[in-house]
A = this chain, B = another copy of it.
Amino acid sequence: MKQEIKKNAPQELNPNVSVDCVIFGFDFDKLNVLVIDRADGTSVPLALPGNLIYNHEHLDQAAIRVLEELTGLRNIYLEQIGAFGDPQRISKASDQSWLQKVRDQPEARVITVAYFSLVKMEDYIPQASSFAKSAAWVPLNDIHELAFDHLEILSAAKRQLKQMINIRPIGFNLLPEKFTLGQLHKLYEAILDKPMDKRNFRRKIQKLNLVKSLEEKQLGVPHKPSQLFMFDEKKYQNLMQTGINNFGF
């Protein structure tokens, strides 16, 4: 399905353009990012999943393909962050071996287009997949070094995420189908990186009519069990369409 070749264009990597993906996950406590370890064992900085694009493919499709090839994640909706074009952004890197495999001029110019997405961590457990060695969730706040200019990309992704959550109800992609308001609350605090008043938060969320309460409650927790909630799919689509209502916190 993904390997279609359009026309008779040769399926060649374009040596000048790559894509990188910032995949956020939420473990009910803090944000995590999916990173890959390109070197086996050697101490090379971790990197965002990314690679060169093919000449025949759309940038957006390239991001989807590369993400799947490197992590196994499929059917992820990716949002573009932007292009990063420092001419030295690649040669800064400590490890260039993978690059030299695909290009003849080691100093060739590569610009990258970055994407980000939010996924449910439960949907993707690297340890259980065939990509165990290479992909892993790392807490966002523990990341202090990354390959190339990936730290800069990550920082732009955080900024954009913070901004976007006030415009669209994207945060919901990070939660399982059934969730508690406490979990949603923690998620917003993690993304906006600031504490928020519990009662005011709940009031605001409830007024949106975006979540509907289920008859179910949490089981097996060592404290008062929480009501479980789901999204109202229709309302959600509605909000995304009519666009950009004031969803701000």
Give the interface of A toward B (CB within 8 A).
6, 9, 14, 16-17, 53, 55-60, 62, 80, 82-87, 107-109, 111, 113, 163, 167, 244, 246, 248
Contact = CB atoms under 8 A, between A and B. Distances in A.
Across the A-B interface, the 8 shortest Cβ-Cβ residue pairs: A59-B85, A16-B16, A83-B83, A83-B113, A55-B109, A80-B82, A82-B82, A56-B87
24 contacts: A9-B107, A14-B16, A14-B109, A16-B16, A17-B17, A17-B111, A53-B85, A55-B87, A55-B109, A57-B87, A58-B85, A58-B86, A59-B85, A59-B86, A62-B85, A80-B82, A80-B83, A82-B82, A82-B83, A83-B83, A85-B113, A111-B113, A163-B167, A246-B248
A56 B6 CA distance: 31
Given A17-B17, A82-B82, A87 B111 contact: no
A111 B58 CA distance: 9
A161 to B, nearest CB: 13
Nearest to A109: B55
Given A9-B107, A56-B109, A83-B83, 5 more contacts: A55-B108, A58-B85, A59-B86, A60-B85, A246-B248
A59 B109 CA distance: 11
A170 to B, nearest CB: 15
A163 to B, nearest CB: 7
A60 B111 CA distance: 12
A56 B82 CA distance: 20
A167 B166 CA distance: 11
Contacts of A108: 55
A167 B82 CA distance: 18
Nearest to A248: B246
Nearest to A56: B87
A83 B85 CA distance: 11
Contact of A163 (B84, B244, B246): B244
B87 A6 contact: yes
A136 B55 CA distance: 34
Contacts of A9: 107
